[in-house]
Each structure stands twice: as C-alpha cells, then as structure tokens.
Amino acid sequence: MCANRFWGDRDDEILNAIVVLSNYVLIPAVAYGSQLALGALGVTLIYGILRFSNFAHGDTMAFGAMATILVTWLFQSWGISLGPLPTALLAIPFGIMATAALLLTTDRLVYRFYRQKKAPPVILVIVSMGVMFVMNGLVRFIIGPNDQRFADGERFIISAREFKKMTGLSEGLAFKTTQGITIVTAIIVVMTLFWFLNRTRTGKSMRAFSDNEDLALLSGINPDRVVMVTWIIVAALAATAGALYGLDKSFKPFTYLQLLLPIFAAAVVGGLGNPVGAIAGGFVIAFSEILITYPLKRVLKYLLPENLEPSTLVQLLSTDYKFAVSFTILIIVLLFRPTGLFKGKSV
C-alpha cells in the first residue's frame, strides 16, 4: 500500500514535469516554429529563384495580415463566422490576393528594372530594404501603428483550468485554438508547396530555374512566368504566416520588423534556397529561443528528489535576450557551416 502510494506520487511528478514543459516550451515552440517556417520558406524561395535576400519579407507578412484583418472585420460586420474557428481563416485567401497584387506591382515597378540590368544581389538587397520601409509605412498608414484584435471564436481547445480538472494534476496545460490552427495550416501549406514544386510542371520549371538559370532558359522555360509564380507563392506564404502570427499573438505593424531576424536566421540555418531546410531552421530557432530562455526550476522540482531541488531559476539567459539567441545561432552557422544544416547556397 505504502509502496504503491509512493510510486503513484512519483508518476504524478513525472507527468507534472512533462505537462509544465509542454505548456511553456513544447506547444508555444511548435506554434512559433510553424510561423517562422512559413516565413522562412518565403525568404528561401526568393533567394533560390530570384537570387536575393528579401528584407521586405517581414513587412510583406504585415501587409498580408493587415489585408486579412480588414476582410475579417468586413465579414464580422456582415455576421459571417466560422463558429468555433476564427473568421480570419475565411479571410486569409483574400489577404493572399491583396498581397499577391502588392508583390506583383512592386516587382513590375522596382525589381524588374534591376533584374533586366542584371544588378548584383547586394544591390537588390538594398533595394528590398527601401521596399521594406515603403511597405511598413503603407501598413501603418492604412491600419495605424496600434494593436489590432481580430481573433474570435473559441479561444481554447483545452484551457489550463479544464485540463487540471480533467486530469487531477497540479499543473495545467493550455492549448489555444490559434496554436492548433497555426500548426494544422502550416502542415497543409507545406504539403501543398512540396507537391507543387515536385509534381507540377510549373513547380519543376521553378526548380530548374533555381538550379541553373542558363540551362533553364535554353530549355525554353519562360523566366517571366517563373518570376510571377514565385511572387504569388511568396505572397501566399507571407500572408498566411503573417495572419497566423497576428491571430496567435497580436497584430502590430512593428512586430513584423522584429520577426525578420529570426526568419532570416531560420532560412540561413536550414540552408538558403532549400525549402526543407527552411522548415527545419524555423523549428531549430523557435526551440532554441524558447528553451534557452526558459527557467527549468519548476520542471526540475518535479523530477529531482527533494533535497536536490534547485534554489535558483536554472535559466540560461534572461528572456530579454531572446533575439540574441537567433543572432548567435546565425553567426555560429555562418562561421562553421555557411551552407546551412541542409545543403543550401552559401551566403
């Protein structure tokens, strides 16, 4: 009886530790990683096919999210909703269309000129920074610099209180609807993208163009069409990633500028130009940012015997240094493995 009780308590402790870790590290990191992966996919596609680092990507995401929000508000005013799911899901396709129109216009007005002049990539990078400032201004001009809320429907799949009641554990586990949607949408988008790149004629011609531009042109691939399709796909990725991030966290134009660093870190860590790498990179960055700044005290409290319980927080870095983590990973990868974890192009 006594022994049973002891082992029962021990199991509870281990379960509690797992729940704490899932609640504060696993679930947030998987959701954040999916958002980063979608962003990094866009960056990596532009790098692979158009051959430059697009600094305007963060603000493209902001624009896509903004367009989605505006359509969401319109739907909400019409009384259209998805029941327990956020209305924003219905609005994302319209956000994608608006973003595609913006990107194609930008390409026509700005990038095409430099492409025809065969400008070196570094000039295109600087050009993209100019585009970034214009887009940032545009977004703030249209929707304002403040926080916007557009999430509706059920907030939680499982809330912390319900979880505690259900399991009787002392730790709660929260799983937000937006986190679930983020993960599911990311999986669908990534699967569609890979199917497109590997199975369709257009996708194959894009990969050919990326591998060897001259050879692709000789074999009769229309470069304008490849460029156009690339921008449309990038618009879809950026608008989806932006809307999901805004839905899960909160929408504020400036935060997308801050997202640029982890997104680039993800793309570079995975190997620029390599879509699989971009996804892996997104999760590597998300997990390291969250794990390194998470204090393990509460987890260890459950796992270690009582006399070994840590008195400090067991936190490697204070949360203020979250962005330093992606910077450090970026530098380490560039120093020791410039082509990234998966073979991409050297930066």
Calculate the CA dihedral of residues 175, 180, 182, 186 and round it to 10 degrees: 140
Closest to other proteins by CB, 151 or 341: 151
Closest to other proteins by CB, 95 or 242: 242
Only one residue has tokens 């950026």, namely 238
Q: Shortest Cβ distance from residue 28 to other proteins (Å)?
A: 5
Q: Shortest Cβ distance from residue 201 to other proteins (Å)?
A: 40
Q: Shortest Cβ distance from residue 259 to other proteins (Å)?
A: 8
Q: How many angstroms separate the first and last alpha carbons of the chain?
A: 64
Only one residue has tokens 């907030």, namely 155
Calculate the CA dihedral of residues 88, 94, 96, 97 and round it to 10 degrees: -170
Closest to other proteins by CB, 196 or 254: 254
Give the type of residue at 238.
A
Q: Which residues bind other proteins (CB under 8 A)?
A: 23-25, 28, 32, 155-156, 159-161, 163-164, 172-174, 176, 245, 249-252, 254-255, 258, 289-290, 293-299, 313, 315, 318-320, 322
- How many residues are given for the chain? 347
Give the type of residue at 243.
A
Closest to other proteins by CB, 268 or 299: 299
Q: Shortest Cβ distance from residue 304 to other proteins (Å)?
A: 14
Report the distance separating Cα 49 and Cα 53, nearest Å.
11
336: Cα separation from own chain's centroid: 25
Closest to other proteins by CB, 153 or 295: 295
Q: Shortest Cβ distance from residue 161 to other proteins (Å)?
A: 6
Q: Shortest Cβ distance from residue 88 to other proteins (Å)?
A: 16
Q: Which residues contact 231 (CB under 8 A, 6 or more apart)?
A: 100, 103, 104, 107
Cβ 55 vs Cβ 106: under 8 Å: no
Q: Shortest Cβ distance from residue 202 to other proteins (Å)?
A: 35
Closest to other proteins by CB, 295 or 338: 295
What six digits make up the tokens of 323? 């962005």
Closest to other proteins by CB, 251 or 264: 251
Calculate the CA dihedral of residues 17, 18, 23, 24 and round it to 10 degrees: 60
